[in-house]
Amino acid sequence: MTANAPERDILEILRRNKWLAQLPADATAELAAGARRRRLADGELIAGRGKQPEGLALVVSGAIRSSNFSAEGREIAFSLVKPGGLWGLVAVLDGAGAVHETRVSGPTELIVFPTRLVRDMLDRDPALYKPVTQMLCYRLRKAYSAVDDLALATLRQRLARQLCTLATELPAEKRHISVTQDELANLVGATRPSVNRELAVLEREGLVERQYGGVTVLDYEHLHELCATQRIFEL
């Protein structure tokens, strides 16, 4: 069966994705055929904490922010999934709902693979669990690394690592990260003023440039040297 134009567009995006490109061609085609494209406004809710999301989401543009709130109302961000990243895998697999409250950051376009579609494909072909398991292991290592950073790394090291993580998939000639200082502060477990001071130091050192609504990484290699650990996990 020949795919229609929207399906072909989605199929090309899936074939270029680091994780989904590992799937067999027929599985990728089935995902593309059953996918839905969604465009959301800044701050729009994808899933509340404990609520089941529509499905597995691939970020095409914009970002997905997962966070929880303290008893005092302070937001703690746990992840910012940028274009090319996948969100919702755990909730799709175990059916226990989203781990955190999840909203989009900025105007965002998603490709959503419905939960039933993903589960049916895994039930029919258990071999598909191999790339899924690899993805889960990767994310578990990323989570362990984040815990290490919060416990052992300085704010300067945590900020450098987060900037490298957000910039690693961007073209080397233009590593501009669309992220606010509030979002950075939440991601590194610090206050906005302290993050602003550290960014000012990095800017004076020629490593980054602060801009309205974002940060441009000017010297990725030297910024990477500041990280507490050497491995940079993609989103």
CB 82 within 8 A of CB 169: yes
Q: Is the pLDDT of residue 149 over 80?
A: no
- Domain membership flag for residue 235: no
The pLDDT tens digits of the residues spanning 125-145 come to: 999 999 999 989 988 887 887
Q: Which of 145, 171, 205 is the last residue of a domain?
A: 145
Nearest-5° angle of CA 166, CA 167, CA 171?
145
The pLDDT tens digits of the residues spanning 48-69 come to: 999 999 999 999 999 999 988 7
Whole-structure pTM value:
0.75
CATH number at residue 98: 2.60.120.10
Helix axes 115-124, 25-34, angle to 10 degrees: 160
pLDDT at 171: 72
Domain count, the chain: 2
30 and 133 assigned to the same domain: yes
Of the pLDDT bands very low, low, confident and very high (cuts 50, 70, 90), residue 2 is: very low
CATH number at residue 170: 1.10.10.10
Q: Which of 145, 179, 214 is the last residue of a domain?
A: 145
The phi and psi torsions of 19 (rounded to 5 degrees) equal -90, -45
194 and 98 assigned to the same domain: no
